[in-house]
Amino acid sequence: FFVAASAMGMSIGPLIAAILDDTAGRDFLIDLHLPFTPAGGIIFNSVTSPGFVMAILWFLEFLFLLFFFVEPDRINGAEDDNGTKSTDSETTSLIKTDYGSMDGRAMRNDLMTSSDLLEEISDSDSNDSFHPKIENHVKGYWDEIASVFSLLVINRGLPVTFLVFCYIELADEVLISSCSMIVRRYFDRNASAAGYLIASLGALVLPANFLVEICSRRVSERLIMKLSIWFIIFGCFGIFNYQGLYYDLVGISQYGGFDPIDLKHLKQLELSGEEIGHFMTKDHEFPYDWNYGQVVYVIFLSAIFGGTIVLEGVTTSIMAQVTPSELNTCFLNSGLLATLIGTLGRVLSDSMITFSALLDIHIFIDFVNATFLPLLLLAIGCLALVNKYYDKLV
């Protein structure tokens, strides 16, 4: 359900943006002039309308959390007969076992309540005795962080699943964020077309999860992980713009010393006896795969997206199996680490797209190839990691 919900969310978002782009229109404008606002008022048009929708949805979620959210029972907390909370000794053994070193006094200070701390302050003869207790309390948090990293080092399968999960988030963000640029620069389509295309990929979520459910009963999830990575690699090879790659190689070989960043020099370049500007689109891109680009792009975009859905399903399942129970009872638990790593993957993907757009200023560097080549190399790296630590993924 987690994988299906996340994939559906990534598809519904572009769908709403595409609908707003079509319904609001690029000529529709509401400008409410208000004082003390940077833009002079509130502007509602096809560009700002998704922001208003997101603000409303976030506000509704805030209201639901405020009135309907109930704090669940803590794993490491239990109530005694007097109604006060006490900590279970079995669930707080992360630091005092093999994964870290901490003396008994630091452990007691780490579990110290505020009332116990005030009693020790009042019983002490001087304020200087309070500072070592604070230092030990802070030291307990650092020891807990060190213990978490020691767990990651000991269990090699868990870091591998985290890295694969980071790649999944990176690949999904690259597919979604680059789609609008590709359909505009190569196929002369607007942003709403990209939104509908991404939304249609959401139809792959349920079939992909159904396929994973059937296959996981017959083969191991590790094998499904390897096959899905191979499928992503196949999709990356297929989505390349080979016509643009051919023109890039010919152009670089003929004009190696030429600086083709200045578009005014296009008339000075020729390929096959014809001016190079005649080959390019209005956005100065070479055509996509000899008039079959739209079909090729949709097919292999769907292949990569479907592969990431399958890979995410088996990766999260293996992650739950290889995660030590001690890692679920501390602050830096597996859920928080997965969230941080997923955010890192999305940040890296946006940086990759920005770098590809900067490289695309060069006439003989294609945007599609510059975007999906790093994705291919990272997929090969993930496959190498899975092969190396295949026995640890149990």
Alpha carbons 389 and 381: distance in angstroms, whole number: 12
What is the structure's pLDDT at 351?
93
CA 341 to chain centre: 8
Identify the residue whose tokens are 């213990």. Answer: 147
> 30: which residues sit within 8 A by CB, 6+ positions away?
42, 43, 44, 45
What is the structure's pLDDT at 178?
92
Alpha carbons 3 and 127: distance in angstroms, whole number: 53
- The helix/strand/coil state of 119 is helix
Q: Which CATH superfamily is domain 156-392 in?
A: MFS general substrate transporter like domains (1.20.1250.20)
Helix (H) or strand (E) holding 180: helix 157-185
What is the structure's pLDDT at 261?
57
Report the chain's C-alpha Rg in angstroms.
27
List every span in the chain annotated with CATH 1.20.1250.20: 156-392
Q: Percent helix, strand and coil across the chain, each rounded to 5?
A: 70, 5, 25
What is the structure's pLDDT at 30?
63
pLDDT in tens, the chain (394 residues): 666 677 677 778 888 888 887 776 555 566 666 666 665 567 777 778 888 888 999 999 999 999 988 877 655 544 444 444 444 444 443 334 444 444 444 444 444 444 454 455 455 444 444 445 455 555 566 776 777 777 777 778 888 999 999 999 999 999 988 998 999 889 988 878 888 898 888 878 878 888 888 888 888 888 999 999 999 999 999 999 999 898 888 877 777 655 555 556 666 677 766 777 677 777 778 889 888 899 999 999 999 999 998 998 899 888 888 888 777 766 677 788 888 899 999 999 999 999 999 988 888 889 999 999 999 999 999 999 999 988 888 7
Alpha carbons 105 and 96: distance in angstroms, whole number: 11
What is the structure's pLDDT at 113?
46
Please tell me the total number of residues recorded for the chain in this structure. 394
Cα distance from N-terminal residue to C-terminal residue, the chain: 22
What is the structure's pLDDT at 362?
81
Q: What is the DSSP string of 343-372?
A: HHHHHHHHHHHHHHHHHTTSTTS-HHHHHH
Residue 237: name the closest of 375, 384, 348, 351 by CA. 375
171 and 304 in contact (C-beta within 8 Å)?
yes
> 86: which residues sit within 8 A by CB, 6+ positions away?
77, 78, 79, 80
What is the structure's pLDDT at 101?
42
Identify the residue whose tokens are 């020691």. Answer: 150
pTM of this structure:
0.74
161 and 338 in contact (C-beta within 8 Å)?
no
Q: What is the DSSP string of 189-255?
A: --HHHHHHHHHHHGGGHHHHHHHHHHHHTTS-HHHHHHHHHHHHHHHHHHHS-HHHHHHHHHHHHH-
Alpha carbons 75 and 263: distance in angstroms, whole number: 63
Alpha carbons 155 and 36: distance in angstroms, whole number: 56
Residue 105: name the closest of 143, 65, 49, 152 by CA. 143
Q: What is the DSSP string of 278-341?
A: GTS-TTS---STTTTHHHHHHHHHHHHHHHHHHHHHHHHHHHHHHS-GGGGSSSS-HHHHHHHH
Alpha carbons 183 and 301: distance in angstroms, whole number: 12
Helix (H) or strand (E) holding 164: helix 157-185
What is the structure's pLDDT at 137?
52
What is the structure's pLDDT at 264?
62
Identify the residue whose tokens are 């943006």. Answer: 17
Identify the residue whose tokens are 């009135």. Answer: 67
